[in-house]
Structure 1
Amino acid sequence: MATAQRYMPLGVEPDVYAGMTWVGLIGFRVTGTCLGPHLRLPYAGTFTEVNVRLYSRDVAGRRGVVFLSLDADRLAFVLAARTAGLPYVWSRCRPTAMPGTSRGYGYEVERFRGQGNSSFSAYPDMDHRALDGLSLWLTARFGLHTRVGQRVFYLPIAHRPWPLYHAAATAFDDALVCAVGLTVHGPPDSVLYSPGVRTRFGQPLQVRG
């Protein structure tokens, strides 16, 4: 808890499940990004992202995440997002398929300046939905906390519940978590897969410390 607290902005604390807080390594594809209801970004708005996150809760009780790093392969998006206080890193990020199967998924990250290359993959079990309390707690995050200058904001995110499945990690060679200053040991305690949802960002709300 004390380690996670060092990464929290003012007015935000680590969220806990069963007395513990967690660090997440998440990979996904972003597609069809729009500015407003109609302005689609066909190139800059489609990219691969891998992020390292902690789970957060602010003084108003709003649950979210605090991003420690976000690797993406679209420079224009990375530069724009950094102005909003998000720690994006321009990297070679790409999804990978497991050899010999059409149902395995993974990601590779190669940072242009080193210090954090990563690759991981998993095999989802599409016959078993992930409906347990921990899986829902890890993924039902409808906002993020970020610091912009001297102020802290909560950015709400709206989406329907994730279609979520348990998965088995088949490869895990990660340095991204270590690169942000955290130390973890052993294989992941939770591995999940989702085919994705459409997401909408709301107006930022200032967090009062």
Structure 2
Amino acid sequence: MPPTPQSPAPLQPQPPIPPHPITADPPEAIARPLLTQSWLDLTFLHWTVDPADVARLLPSGAVPDTLDGVTYVGLVAFRMHRVGWLRLPGVPYLGTFPETNVRLYSVDAHGRRGVVFRSLDASRLIPVAVGRLGFRMPYLWSRMDIRHDGDTVTYTSSRRWPGPRGARSRITVRTGERVEEPTELEHFLTARWGMHGAFFGRSMYLPNAHPRWPLHRAELVECDEDLVTAAGLPAPEGEPVSVLYSPGVPARFGRPARPAGIATP
């Protein structure tokens, strides 16, 4: 009798690639951007959070990115400036507006570190509608303002739509000296070269690139907010572990790519 053909061995899942090194500069340039924009007058506030408390909030294919066993929730207030498509010039009015986002830190099976946005409050209704309907991103329409007074910057936000209505933030910082050599944690929180999210209903990774952050130490003068809890996260405990300010950078986003599998940080 002829030998019985052997069934091919089932394919084994590939082990995840370890997270890429934390670098102050992007791993690669984006020569043909999908989106261009500048982020100006930024304040970064960060609190520690248990990875187990945020894992369920991340999109498929991503898990919490950790440093020394913990991960972070960020509250980032800034001014978006001249959002543009492809190589077209950025839009001066509709593409320029205050924004405050709540974000988490993620990594996928390719080792790509990124951020996950839980909410993005912005003051322009049309960009909010485009972000929500076109890209399924959690944009929210809010009344917002950014004011400078000497070395202090105040950001205010009050949510209009879709809700929870009245979710708010008021952040005031006093900017200080330039950070000549950021710590590993400061790089971990700010030098993120992509975002994980569900674009057009599918889990994607969207790479970005920008010059090295010009960072400044900052003193938190006031923080009255409930955006973090409105985003489904535990209320921050105590003072932020990191408060930073940056005058900003221009940024480019590349084409989205599918994340594959689940990573282990």
**1:32-89 CA-partner distances (Å, limit 9, x unpaired):** 2221212431211001100000000011100000000000001111111112121000
Cα deviation code 1:160-189 (max 9, x no counterpart): 110011111000101000111212211111
Counterpart in the other structure of 1:191? 243
Over 3 Å counting, the alpha-carbon distance change for 1:59 and 1:128 in structure 2 is: closer
Q: Equivalents in 2 of 1:117, 1:147: separation in Å?
A: 25
User: 1:129-164, CA deviations, whole angstroms, 9 ceiling, x for partnerless residues?
Assistant: 461111111000011010135520000111011001
Which aligned pairs between 1:136-175 and structure 2 lie closer than 5 A?
136-148=187-199, 150-175=201-226
User: In the alignment, what sits opposite 2:77?
Assistant: 27
Question: Which one-letter code corresponds to 1:63 in the other structure?
Answer: R
For 1:48-67, what aligned pairs fall within 5 Å after superposition? 48-67=98-117
Does the aligned pair in 2 maintain the 1:130–1:192 contact within 8 Å? no
- Cα pair 1:56 1:145 within 8 Å, conserved: yes
With normalisation by structure 1, the TM-score equals 0.93
In structure 2, distance between residues paired with 1:150 and 1:81: 13
Aligned length: 206
1:41 partnered with 2:91: yes
Q: Which runs of 5+ in 1 are unaligned?
A: none
Contact 2:81–2:97 (CA under 8 A) maintained in structure 1: yes
Contact 1:110/1:118, CA 8 A, preserved across alignment = yes
Query: Are the counterparts in 1 of residues 179 and 214 from structure 2 also a CA contact under 8 Å?
Result: no
Residue in 2 aligned with 1:203?
Answer: 255
Is residue 110 from structure 1 mapped to residue 158 from structure 2 by the alignment?
yes
Mapped to 1, the partners of 2:108 and 2:171 lie a distance apart of 31
Query: CA separation in 2, counterparts of 1:90 and 1:134?
Result: 31
What secondary structure does 1:207 align onto? coil
2:44 aligns with: none
Contact 1:130 1:166 in 2 (8 A): no
> Highest Rg: 1 or 2?
2
SS in 2 for 1:89: strand
Question: What is the RMSD computed on CA atoms of the aligned residues?
Answer: 1.4
3-state SS of paired residue (1:19): coil
Determine the C-alpha separation between the residues in 2 that align with 1:119 and 1:128: 25
TM-score (norm 2): 0.74
| Separation in 2, partners of 1:162, 1:196 | 7
Matched residues in 2 for 1:51 and 1:172: separation? 14
Match in the other structure for 1:87 = 138
Are the counterparts in 2 of residues 116 and 178 from structure 1 also a CA contact under 8 Å? Answer: no
- Give the equivalent residue in structure 2 for 1:69: 119
